[in-house]
Amino acid sequence: MTTLASEPATTPREARVEFRTEPSRYRHWRLTFDGPVATLTMDVDENGGLVPGYELKLNSYDLGVDIELYDAVQRLRFEHPEVRTVVLTGGKEKVFCAGANIRMLAASEHAWKVNFCKFTNETRNGIEDATANSGQTYIAACNGTASGGGYELALACEHIMLVDDRSSTVSLPELPLLGVLPGTGGLTRVSDKRHVRRDLADYFSTKAEGIGGAKAVRWRLVDEVVPRTAWAATVRERAAAFAERSPRPADARGIGLPPLDKTRTDDRVAYRYVDAVLDRDRSTVEITVLGPEEDAPADASGVHARGADFWTLAMTRELDDLILDLRTNETSLGTWVLRTRGDAKRVLAHDALLLDNARDWLANEIVLYLKRTFKRLDVTSRSLIALIEPGSCFAGSLLEPALAADRSFQLAGVFEEVDPDADPAAITVGPMNLGPLPMGNGLTRLATRFFGDPESLTAAESARGGPLAAADAERLGLVTFAPDDIDWDEEVRIAIEERTGFSPDALTGLEANYRFTGPETLETKIFGRLTAWQNWIFDRPNASGPDGALRKYGTGRRADFDRKRV
Amino acid sequence: MTTLASEPATTPREARVEFRTEPSRYRHWRLTFDGPVATLTMDVDENGGLVPGYELKLNSYDLGVDIELYDAVQRLRFEHPEVRTVVLTGGKEKVFCAGANIRMLAASEHAWKVNFCKFTNETRNGIEDATANSGQTYIAACNGTASGGGYELALACEHIMLVDDRSSTVSLPELPLLGVLPGTGGLTRVSDKRHVRRDLADYFSTKAEGIGGAKAVRWRLVDEVVPRTAWAATVRERAAAFAERSPRPADARGIGLPPLDKTRTDDRVAYRYVDAVLDRDRSTVEITVLGPEEDAPADASGVHARGADFWTLAMTRELDDLILDLRTNETSLGTWVLRTRGDAKRVLAHDALLLDNARDWLANEIVLYLKRTFKRLDVTSRSLIALIEPGSCFAGSLLEPALAADRSFQLAGVFEEVDPDADPAAITVGPMNLGPLPMGNGLTRLATRFFGDPESLTAAESARGGPLAAADAERLGLVTFAPDDIDWDEEVRIAIEERTGFSPDALTGLEANYRFTGPETLETKIFGRLTAWQNWIFDRPNASGPDGALRKYGTGRRADFDRKRV
């Protein structure tokens, strides 16, 4: 069996994972439409694994299957505004979905497993976001057993239906069978979303065969069980009922999401508005986001007319793809340096256009997508350093990356030797920073930054509208440091070099704690508490060692556990 | 260097850690009194390590040092009600406290490190509890550098003073020096308690030399810096000011806490009211808590008269000691089976006496101690199974262990062959279950159990007062299962055996998630999010491998990190 464990520091081109896809290329999903109801049918190609070495039996999935799901969820939002209910169902007999492929997990190295879980988590959060904020409600129509990640996928849906046939169940068999936890939010959603009582949840999560029928409803594990004879009609009925409640406009016309224009080499990832230079010597990626090249259109119709070319959407798609590419393919580049370049006023004008038309479905979708993409930054296990220089446009939506960063530097004044006449580096707080782009904890990045310090928050929010020079931004606490031309190079160099010298694991833990000050939500509990425990368990010999449960699964031999409780 | 890594499954008697101590036996702390102000001076005996192999230089600590601190905090509450301010300070020159001893950490096995951090965390939470609820406010008088765990100890205090001498700083050097996180709540308290801005907190936590002087105040890391010339007077002044605000009675007389009567062998831990049978074949501990042997006294004066013999206090002290003993010395006994035996009415009468006299300082202290002890159960990495049988007294305060359990079984009826005329097994919800004993998440165990299900919570709370037979308790969701005599043995046996067969690590993660449904607090963030990340980092080769930072510290050689970001 080919193993992923020998992945070298630089992923060879042919092994790089590519996140761009489109329905005509799907191998694992079918997307069909019936008026306001779309059906997303999982029908995994056993031989379509992303990496050789395993067969995707029983509708089990790997990263490749989830990349297609993510693409489908995105396209439903942008290309199919008429869709109000999405029915997620299975295309196999007896089984809805068996969850993440176990042989794939067993053969994967630790970083791969963790990154895979992160992406699948984000996709499931996106499903919940579509239900909550886009008027596209997801229903899980489990026409067979939903186990492990299969049940976790159902848990991300608003309504879970299970066929009542005396054999189909929902289950989380990871603990009893594999010695690990469900990896994509299962425990948190069972308790904090569906409110299954903690002792029943505990019992359920230790019972490999799962629970079906009336008990599954009584314990709140599913919303209803339906006999096979009534299945198709009941699914249709529920889909229609949820569609009825959606505020989506009936006559909206979607916009196409054409393939991103991307140039990818060993040392560069370049798109139209986003550029990343991979500096392997310094274990660093230098990312630059360009502001709009033209003025914002006059009204919402201009947003529709530009479609995928509208700057905010185009830039967000590129940034999204870059984050996923770097996370998956460039694990050894531990520090991302974030810059912007362009006209701050144009950024703010694009922001204003979107927010002034918040009731327009497309404007709404673009802002939600921006929100989800910046949330990816928050849970990215890379150190983020923002550099605010003359010519940059850290304003409104593009100020968010600087607020997401672990540290930011704003040049006091200009680079005398580069352009003594340049406008000094500035940042601008705008309406986008005051609510529309919350973090997973439910707060804006500003409110998280000033958590427990309401006066500073008010001061920062009150400074909105105009450009803030380094001294003001530093005084307001909006940037970490504001060195001048003389100190800039040295201070920035030390910050980046230092970061590269620290333990990558300790940095991941540090950032995961400090980035989420304040209240916790379902989402932060999944990425904070649950993921951290899962990472620990994944890395323990009892799971991943030669005699661990993940390795022994399917061999007919039992895992040999170190029984010590930690 | 002797290493702790070879600890066998059964801790030999001479290596067992004992938590019982008293001031006359302290090697590391001095406790002095001046009216309402107590001073707790840390002056660690370099050669007084709990385990051979390291010197406790620079006021660094190991578990033994913290056991004494815990004892002092407890005695201050019970034996010294006149104390209103506790000044925590250092007895060395230049250094307040250097934190956990690094050679001890480097030589310790994973389970030891994690258990050590858990206990130190609980002691620091206890310090905050004394400040918040007992009118004993802790002040950190950092008369020299407070680094790592030393600063974390200060963070648990209400007010942090740092000497301003151009060299003393506060610091969290764990990440830059050791490749791990601060292990006792540092990150969470810096951000969520002291509201240090996240980017400054990040910078601070990567700067090994720390921050002192005015900047430490400006960044909120300490409350004030004081020149050495004004030090003693200012500390006195602050101590007096906090004492002024305390509601503690001036004329109260403390009660003594005599040594616990404890019999400890390889297969049993026995006290007066608590008994534990260590079943190594089944990796299980059978714990029985006895109810009161006599009726509750008529009023608060009776509580004072009985002092440490008052049932609730005596039982709590024993249970507390047992939990600490088993956690530390019996890591391979992964399941704790909880039983009670006695008269439920007497338990409820003791509860009522305490709650009716909530303004009495001793009654208040006993309830707070009970609360902290049950909280220990919640964060104990052992599976907890409660067995509710005829003759048991799971009522009020003693119902809490059943509510803390991962699973509970209540016998429907009686054991026909044992005593067909016995009263059937019953539980009773009492006032103690409705507020005075919250979990770390701020909710009662009942509210956590029924999180998101207010009707069931109301129904359970409304059933208070009278005994509930198995069918009622099951219907109300207060117990997990209610098998009858015929099924009992088999069901219970399977539950325990199954638990023993699962991955101990996965169980720890499962329980840490399900036990804390609902809101998160400083405390649950420390035990959930922060601890999980720390466990993961502790277990990674970058920290604990032969070339990891923990092992390389002090050798003059740098750690050799795998640079891959996970």
Predicted confidence at residue A25, as pLDDT, reads 97
Contact A452 B192 (CB under 8 A): yes
The strand pair at A335-341 and A284-290 is best described as parallel
Residues in B closer than 8 angstroms to A518, CB to CB, are 192
pLDDT exceeds 50 at position A225: yes
CA of B121 to nearest chain A CA: how many angstroms apart? 15
- Interface contact B565, partner A, CB < 8 A: yes
A contact residues 425-484, partner B, Cβ 8 Å cutoff: 448-453, 477, 480
Q: Confidence class of residue A170 from pLDDT cuts 50, 70 and 90?
A: very high
Q: How far, in whole angstroms, is CA B207 from its chain's centroid?
A: 30
| B222 and B289 fall within a common domain | no
Mean pLDDT confidence for A381-401: 98
Do the Cβ atoms of B145 and B139 come closer than 8 Å? no
Q: Confidence class of residue B12 from pLDDT cuts 50, 70 and 90?
A: confident
Select from A329, A514, A522, A524 the residue whose CB has the most chain B CBs within 10 Å, as the one to mutate to test that interface. Answer: A514
| A87 and A198 fall within a common domain | yes
pLDDT exceeds 60 at position A34: yes
CA of B286 to nearest chain A CA: how many angstroms apart? 17
- Residue of chain B minimizing CA distance to A118: B566
Predicted confidence at residue B2, as pLDDT, reads 33
Do the Cβ atoms of B427 and B468 come closer than 8 Å? yes
Any domain includes A194: yes
Any domain includes A543: no
| B183 and B312 fall within a common domain | no
Region class of B215: left (phi > 0), else alpha (psi between -120 and 50), else beta: alpha
pLDDT exceeds 90 at position A328: yes
| Dihedral Cα A155, A160, A163, A168, nearest 10 deg | 20
CA of B257 to nearest chain A CA: how many angstroms apart? 31
Q: Confidence class of residue B558 from pLDDT cuts 50, 70 and 90?
A: confident
The residues of B that are catalytic are 152, 174
Any domain includes B557: no
| A236 and A269 fall within a common domain | no
**pLDDT digit string (tens) for B522-540?**
999 999 888 999 999 998 9
Any domain includes A2: no
| A393 and A333 fall within a common domain | yes
Any domain includes B1: no
CA of B138 to nearest chain A CA: how many angstroms apart? 22
Contact B198 A514 (CB under 8 A): yes
- Mean pLDDT over all residues of chain A? 95
Using a cut of 0.80, tell me whether the model's pTM lies above it.
Answer: yes
- Interface contact A152, partner B, CB < 8 A: no
Residues in A closer than 8 angstroms to B331, CB to CB, are 564-566
- Interface contact B276, partner A, CB < 8 A: no
Nearest of A513, A429, A323, A390 to residue B530 by alpha carbon:
A513
- Interface contact B33, partner A, CB < 8 A: no
pLDDT exceeds 80 at position B443: yes
- Mean pLDDT is highest, among B246-250, B350-354, B524-528, for B350-354
B contact residues 517-536, partner A, Cβ 8 Å cutoff: 517-520, 525, 528-530, 532-536
Residue with tokens 């399900």: B514
Residues in A closer than 8 angstroms to B502, CB to CB, are 175-176, 179, 206
Do the Cβ atoms of A69 and A121 come closer than 8 Å? no
Predicted confidence at residue B249, as pLDDT, reads 87
The residues of A that are catalytic are 152, 174
Q: List the domain range (segments joined by +) for residue A204.
A: 12-245
| B367 and B465 fall within a common domain | yes
| A202 and A134 fall within a common domain | yes
- Residue of chain A minimizing CA distance to B174: A506
Burial A479-518 (b: 16+ CB within 10 A, else e): bbbbbeeeebeeebeebbeebbebbbbbbbbbbbbbbbbb
Predicted confidence at residue B56, as pLDDT, reads 97
ipTM of predicted complex? 0.94
Predicted confidence at residue B419, as pLDDT, reads 95
- Interface contact B557, partner A, CB < 8 A: no
Share of chain A above pLDDT 70, in %: 98
**pLDDT digit string (tens) for B490-528?**
999 999 999 999 999 999 999 999 999 999 999 999 998
Contact B331 A519 (CB under 8 A): no
DSSP secondary structure string, B347-363? Answer: HHHHHHHHHHTTTSHHH
The CATH number of the domain holding residue B43 is: 3.90.226.10
Strand, helix or coil for residue A437 = coil
Any domain includes A528: no
Q: Confidence class of residue A14 from pLDDT cuts 50, 70 and 90?
A: confident
DSSP secondary structure string, A11-61? Answer: PPGGG-------GGG-SSEEEEEETTEEEEEE---TT--SSSS---GGGEE
Tokens read off for B68 = 């004494």
Residues in A closer than 8 angstroms to B510, CB to CB, are 175, 181, 187, 202, 205-206
Residue with tokens 């990674």: B540
Among B179, B206, B530, the residue with its CB nearest the CB of A513 is: B530
- Interface contact B566, partner A, CB < 8 A: yes
- Residue of chain A minimizing CA distance to B514: A198
- Residue of chain B minimizing CA distance to A116: B566
**pLDDT digit string (tens) for B358-412?**
999 999 999 999 999 999 999 999 999 999 999 999 999 999 999 999 999 999 9
B417 Cβ neighbours under 8 A, 6+ residues apart: none
Select from A278, A536, A558, A563 the residue whose CB has the most chain B CBs within 10 Å, as the one to mutate to test that interface. Answer: A536
Any domain includes B250: no
Any domain includes B455: yes
pLDDT exceeds 50 at position A1: no
CA B297 to each of CA A347, B69, B145, B300, B315: distance values in angstroms, whole numbers, following the listed order? 74, 32, 50, 8, 16
CA of A200 to nearest chain B CA: how many angstroms apart? 7
Contact A536 B505 (CB under 8 A): yes
Q: How far, in whole angstroms, is CA B526 from its chain's centroid?
A: 12
Strand, helix or coil for residue A180 = coil
B86 Cβ neighbours under 8 A, 6+ residues apart: B37, B38, B39, B40, B76, B130, B136, B137, B138, B139
Burial class of residue B267 in the structure, from the number of CB atoms within 10 Å of its CB (0-12 exposed, 13-18 middle, 19+ buried): exposed
Amino acid at B448: T
| B117 and B55 fall within a common domain | yes
Nearest of A98, A149, A89 to residue A121 by alpha carbon:
A149
| A285 and A231 fall within a common domain | no
The strand pair at B268-270 and B274-279 is best described as antiparallel
pLDDT exceeds 70 at position A100: yes
Q: Confidence class of residue B188 from pLDDT cuts 50, 70 and 90?
A: very high
Euclidean distance between CA atoms A297 and B5, whole angstroms: 67
Residues in B closer than 8 angstroms to A199, CB to CB, are 405-408, 449, 480
CB contacts < 8 A (A, B): 280
- Interface contact A201, partner B, CB < 8 A: yes
- Which of the two residues, A3 and A505, has the higher pLDDT score? A505
A151 Cβ neighbours under 8 A, 6+ residues apart: A99, A170, A171, A172, A182, A186, A210
Amino acid at B319: L
Q: Which strand (E) or helix (H) includes residue B238?
A: helix B228-245
What total of structural domains would you count in chain B? 2
Amino acid at A513: N
Mean pLDDT confidence for B90-111: 94
| A289 and A217 fall within a common domain | no
Q: Confidence class of residue B431 from pLDDT cuts 50, 70 and 90?
A: very high
CA A136 to each of CA A83, A130, A239, A242, B355: distance values in angstroms, whole numbers, following the listed order? 7, 5, 11, 9, 52
Predicted confidence at residue A13, as pLDDT, reads 77
- Interface contact A503, partner B, CB < 8 A: yes
Please give the order of strands across the beta sheet that includes B95-97: B95-97, B145-147, B170-171
pLDDT exceeds 80 at position B6: no
Helices (H), B379-433: 400-404
- Interface contact A71, partner B, CB < 8 A: no
pLDDT exceeds 50 at position B5: no
- Interface contact A244, partner B, CB < 8 A: no
pLDDT exceeds 60 at position A29: yes
The strand pair at A274-279 and A268-270 is best described as antiparallel
Do the Cβ atoms of A363 and A354 come closer than 8 Å? yes
| A286 and A422 fall within a common domain | yes
Select from B510, B516, B538, B561 the residue whose CB has the most chain A CBs within 10 Å, as the one to mutate to test that interface. Answer: B510
- Interface contact B253, partner A, CB < 8 A: no
Of A184-198, A544-558, B89-103, B160-174, least confident by mean pLDDT is A544-558
Residues in B closer than 8 angstroms to A507, CB to CB, are 175, 565
Nearest of A329, A313, A327 to residue A257 by alpha carbon:
A313
Predicted confidence at residue A9, as pLDDT, reads 53
pLDDT exceeds 90 at position A5: no
* Cβ atoms within 10 Å, residue A300: 18
| B226 and B339 fall within a common domain | no
